[in-house]
Amino acid sequence: MQLDSRQLAAFAAVLREGSFEAAARSLHVTPSAVSQRIKALEERLGRVLIRRASPCVATEAGESLQRHAQQLQLLEAQALAPFGMTAASASAAREAQEALPLAIAINADSLATWFVPALAALRERHEVCLDLHVEDQDHSSELLRQGRVLAAVSAEPTPVQGCRVSPLGRMRYLAVASPAFMRRHFADGLDDAALAAAPCCSFNQKDQLQARFLRQLSRRRLNPPQHRVPSTHGFVHAALHGLGWGMNPEALVAPLLASGDLVEIAPGRALDVPLYWQRWSLEAEVLKALGDAVAAAARSGLRPMRTPPSAGVAD
């Protein structure tokens, strides 16, 4: 069965932009045209592919087609890339064509620290439009499985089916609080009673860093009061203002520790989270360039792996 390229493009645009109206603007057509193309594609395949919500999301049947549509876009961009041009003419050609959309899953702490230079380096070489999905590193690989992204920074070392994985490095987290918070809650030390009563901050329901750190400090299962602070920089500010202690990226809090505005609640204790780069196994120049840029940024912004594992591929 041969699929209509315009229908696939409309399908991918709706999921990328989140609505039929936004997809129409990106494709320079009317919302009615987008709706008709999606309807024709669904009738041809005999399945509902898009759940009409806000934002629109792929149904289970649509997830595999979403991945196929994104792969076709990459392959088409690869086939139409200019050959034998000077740097100036190649740059002009890239500016003249529509930017290639790239969907990437990234955890908030990496986005706030070391990851953005990789995106800037990629933009120097390729005309792309970045679609970043902020997701916890322990869950980002699920977006790859669903076909919603083509690459992800993940804590999962085992490659998702159809993807390849390579190690990036370790992100170090430190448990920090304000000096006033320490005097109020831990004046007599970090015993189980104090740790169970002192409030901590968590990013969201998926954030397990504080719980993992508590398991380093106590054999008991502790459940202290929690503030939900879904912002990397807000997390630092919450610690500064004494709302609670929390696990913060070393790169963000090092200056505040040096100035004394923050202190470690357990000096000498840290939590290292190994990070990996997972991407589709598709051989596309832009994916290779993205991987190279991410690896270079990770070498500058992350601690090296203690025992670097070998790269793997899952077909």
* pLDDT 10s digits, 253-294: 999 999 999 999 999 999 999 999 999 988 888 999 999 999
Quick one: pLDDT at residue 89? 39
Quick one: pLDDT at residue 74? 79
Looking at the predicted structure, is the pLDDT value of residue 103 above 60? yes
Instruction: Of 46-60, 141-155, 243-257, 300-314, give the lowest mean pLDDT range.
Output: 300-314
Looking at the predicted structure, is the pLDDT value of residue 127 above 90? no
* Alpha carbon of residue 205 to chain centroid: 17
Residue 152 contacts residue 105 (beta carbons within 8 Å): yes
Per-residue confidence band for 190, with pLDDT thresholds at 50, 70 and 90: very high
| Higher per-residue confidence, 94 vs 236 | 236
Can you tell me the distance from the alpha carbon of 128 to that of 174, in angstroms, rounded to the nearest whole number? Answer: 35
The predicted model gives 158-183 an average pLDDT of 96
Looking at the predicted structure, is the pLDDT value of residue 95 above 60? no
Quick one: pLDDT at residue 290? 96
Per-residue confidence band for 3, with pLDDT thresholds at 50, 70 and 90: confident
Q: What confidence tens digit (pLDDT) does each residue in 32-83 have?
A: 999 999 999 999 988 899 999 889 989 988 888 888 888 887 777 777 665 4
Can you tell me the distance from the alpha carbon of 306 to that of 315, in angstroms, rounded to the nearest whole number? Answer: 27
Q: The pTM is what?
A: 0.79
The predicted model gives 6-16 an average pLDDT of 91
Can you tell me the distance from the alpha carbon of 307 to that of 157, in angstroms, rounded to the nearest whole number? Answer: 13
Can you tell me the distance from the alpha carbon of 160 to that of 85, in angstroms, rounded to the nearest whole number? Answer: 37
Strands of the chain (E only): list them. Answer: 50-51, 57-58, 100-106, 128-134, 151-154, 163-177, 200-202, 226-228, 246-249, 263-264, 271-280, 312-313
Residues 6+ away with beta carbon under 8 Å from 57: 15, 50, 51
Can you tell me the distance from the alpha carbon of 133 to that of 126, in angstroms, rounded to the nearest whole number? Answer: 20
Looking at the predicted structure, is the pLDDT value of residue 248 above 50? yes
Quick one: pLDDT at residue 309? 47
Strands of 124-270 (E only): list them. Answer: 128-134, 151-154, 163-177, 200-202, 226-228, 246-249, 263-264
Residue 303 contacts residue 167 (beta carbons within 8 Å): no
Quick one: pLDDT at residue 64? 80
Can you tell me the distance from the alpha carbon of 61 to that of 260, in angstroms, rounded to the nearest whole number? Answer: 54
Amino acid at 179: P
Q: Which residue in this structure is represented by tokens 């070392």?
A: 157
Looking at the predicted structure, is the pLDDT value of residue 111 above 80? yes
The predicted model gives 176-185 an average pLDDT of 98
Give the burial string for 208-231 (b: 16+ CB within 10 Å, else e): ebbbebbeebeeeebebebeebee
Q: Token digits for 9?
A: 């493009």
Kindly report the average pLDDT of the chain as a whole number: 89
Residue 106 contacts residue 153 (beta carbons within 8 Å): yes
Q: How many CB atoms lie within 10 A of CB 279?
A: 23
Residue 278 contacts residue 144 (beta carbons within 8 Å): yes
Quick one: pLDDT at residue 312? 52
Q: What percent of the chain has pLDDT over 90?
A: 67
Q: What percent of the chain has pLDDT over 70?
A: 90
Helix (H, G, I), strand (E, B) or coil at 83: coil
Q: What confidence tens digit (pLDDT) does each residue in 196-210 have?
A: 999 999 999 999 999
Looking at the predicted structure, is the pLDDT value of residue 133 above 80? yes
| Higher per-residue confidence, 272 vs 139 | 272
Helix (H, G, I), strand (E, B) or coil at 282: coil
Looking at the predicted structure, is the pLDDT value of residue 93 above 60? no
Quick one: pLDDT at residue 210? 97
Residues 6+ away with beta carbon under 8 Å from 228: 201, 202, 203, 204, 205
Residues 6+ away with beta carbon under 8 Å from 232: 108, 109, 111, 112, 203, 249, 252
Quick one: pLDDT at residue 73? 77
Q: Token digits for 151?
A: 């690459």
